[in-house]
Each structure stands twice: as C-alpha cells, then as structure tokens.
A = this chain, B = another copy of it.
Amino acid sequence: MADTAIQIGELSRRTGCNIETIRYYERIGLMPAPPRRGRYRSYGAADVGRLGFVRRARELGFTLDEVRALLGLAAGGGASCAEVRVLAAAHLGDVRARIADLRRMERVLADSVRACDAGQDPGCPLIDALYAEPRLPQTAR
C-alpha cells in the first residue's frame, strides 16, 4: 500500500493546494525538494500528509513562519505539546484581536448604512463620518 509515487498535479488535487503554491513552498523551504523522475517532481504519502498539515494550519490563519515552527514541533514529538500550546494561544490572541477590530468596523459601517436608510441627515452619513475629526474633540478649528 502507498507505494504511490505521484506527480505535482496529483498532489495538488489531493491537498487542494495549487501547483504554483507547492513549488513556492519548496522554494522557501517549507516543503522538502522531492526526488525527480526524469525532471518531474515525484511525491509520496509523507508529502501529502505534510502539505495537508500546512494547508490546514494556513486555514487556521497561522503565518508561514508559524507553520514552519509547528512542523518542527510536530516532528519533535513528546514534550513539544506545551510549546504548541504557546504558539496556538498566541495566535488565538491575534485572531481575537482581529475579530475585535473587524467588529468595530462592522458597527460603524452598519450604523452608517442604517442612518443612510433612515434618510434624515442632510448629507451622507458615511461621508460625514469620514470627514469628522475625532482627533480634536474641542479647540474649535
């Protein structure tokens, strides 16, 4: 089982990772340079696993550097779980901060659209909001 040497196209199909991206990962050292059959890259089951790992980590929003670190820890095995936890918790913090940012944006945008629908303002609520100056609360002009 799994004496399956596959080409890059098949690896792409199995992982959902596009071909150019696979070669890019190889260039930056995230995927190892595979052996060649002729001049075509020849991949095995381990590559499918590793690339799937990369792809799923990316879907969770880890940067490529973080993915690199995770791969290192995954290879290490054993005591690395604590270190993985640190990485994941830090990244979770990032994600939550980004959510908070986006929610602030959402609120302002939704308010503006609502004000626009209400149609009470003389001008355009969003344009007005963008021209406002929250930087100098008083001090007249």
Contact = CB atoms under 8 A, between A and B. Distances in A.
Interface of A: 1-2, 14, 16, 49, 52-53, 56-57, 59-61, 70, 73-74, 80-81, 84-85, 88-89, 91-92, 95-96, 98-99, 102-103, 105-106, 108-110, 112-113, 116-117, 123-124, 126-127, 129-133, 135, 141
A81 B125 CA distance: 8
Given A16-B135, A106-B99, A113-B85, A127 B92 contact: no
7 contacts: A56-B130, A60-B130, A74-B130, A84-B124, A95-B106, A98-B102, A99-B99
B74 A92 contact: no
Nearest to A59: B105
